[in-house]
Structures are given as structure tokens and as C-alpha cells.
């Protein structure tokens, strides 16, 4: 019961941070993106709603990249390139941070 209530509070707080951060990211205050990241961390990468929003975002950007308006297409292509470079760097960072899951070797005295 308490676990369910805490999970609901965490999800609610996370989505409030995401929506509030997106609103603040338009303003000249740079803290909007930090609040969005905090919200994503609270909600978690396995959340169905967050995955649906990300899929919608990717479809929207890809369709804008093939727009007939050159300025819109260029901006969308730059966003796609930026996303790709960030994802690539994240994968590289995660690969260096992960440790192999190997069982420790037994000492000769234990055998």
C-alpha cells in the first residue's frame, strides 16, 4: 500500500517536473532542461508514457526533417544529428562504466 502510494507520488512529481521543465526551457532561464532531466529520472526509462512521448517526438522530428520548408527541414536535421551524437556519447560512457559481472576467484586456502 505504501509502496504503491510512493510510486504514484514519484510518477506524479516526475511528470510535473517534465512538463514544468519544458515550459521553463522556452524562457531564458537555463534550468528548464535540468528540471526535465530530473523528471525523466523520477519517472524512469521504463515508463510506458515516457516511451510513447519519445516515440511521438522521434516521428515528429523525422517528418519535419523531410519538410518542404528549408529552414524547418534544416532545424529538424540538426536536432536529429544532435540527438544521435548525444545517444552515441551516452552509449560510449555506459560501456566504459559497466563492470563485468564475473564471480570472484576463490583463494587457494578456501579450496
pLDDT tens digits along 50-77 = 889 889 989 999 999 999 999 999 999 9
Q: Three-state SS for 69? A: coil
Retrieve residue 45's grid coordinates.
Answer: 526509462
Retrieve residue 102's grid coordinates.
Answer: 564475473
> Are 35 and 59 found together in one domain?
no
> Are 69 and 36 found together in one domain?
no
What's the domain count of the chain?
A: 2
Q: Which domain holds residue 11?
A: 1-44
Residue 74: inside a domain: yes
> Are 37 and 53 found together in one domain?
no
Residue 78: inside a domain: yes
> Are 92 and 66 found together in one domain?
yes
Retrieve residue 40's grid coordinates.
Answer: 525523466
Q: What is the pLDDT of residue 95?
A: 83
What average pLDDT does the segment 82-88 reach? 89
> Are 39 and 12 found together in one domain?
yes
Q: What is the pLDDT of residue 51?
A: 87
Using CA atoms, how far residue 54 sits from 21, 61, 65, in Å, is 16, 11, 16
DSSP character at residue 28? S
Residue 107: inside a domain: no
> Are 53 and 93 found together in one domain?
yes
| C-alpha–C-alpha distance, residues 40 and 52, integer Å | 13
> Are 52 and 40 found together in one domain?
no
Residue 17: inside a domain: yes
Residue 109: inside a domain: no
> Are 40 and 52 found together in one domain?
no
Structure confidence at residue 44 as a pLDDT band (50, 70, 90) = confident
What average pLDDT does the segment 85-94 reach? 86
Does residue 23 surpass a pLDDT of 70? yes
| C-alpha–C-alpha distance, residues 68 and 91, integer Å | 33
Amino acid at each position: 500500500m505504501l509502496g504503491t502510494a510512493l510510486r504514484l507520488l514519484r510518477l506524479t512529481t516526475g511528470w510535473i517536473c517534465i512538463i514544468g521543465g519544458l515550459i521553463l526551457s522556452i524562457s531564458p532561464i537555463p534550468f528548464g532542461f535540468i528540471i526535465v532531466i530530473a523528471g525523466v529520472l523520477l519517472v524512469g526509462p521504463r515508463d510506458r508514457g515516457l516511451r510513447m512521448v519519445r516515440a511521438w517526438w522521434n516521428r515528429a522530428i523525422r517528418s519535419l526533417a523531410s519538410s518542404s520548408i528549408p529552414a524547418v527541414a534544416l532545424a529538424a536535421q540538426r536536432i536529429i544529428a544532435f540527438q544521435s551524437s548525444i545517444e552515441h556519447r551516452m552509449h560510449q560512457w555506459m560501456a566504459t562504466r559497466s563492470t563485468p559481472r564475473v564471480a570472484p576467484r576463490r583463494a587457494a586456502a578456501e579450496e
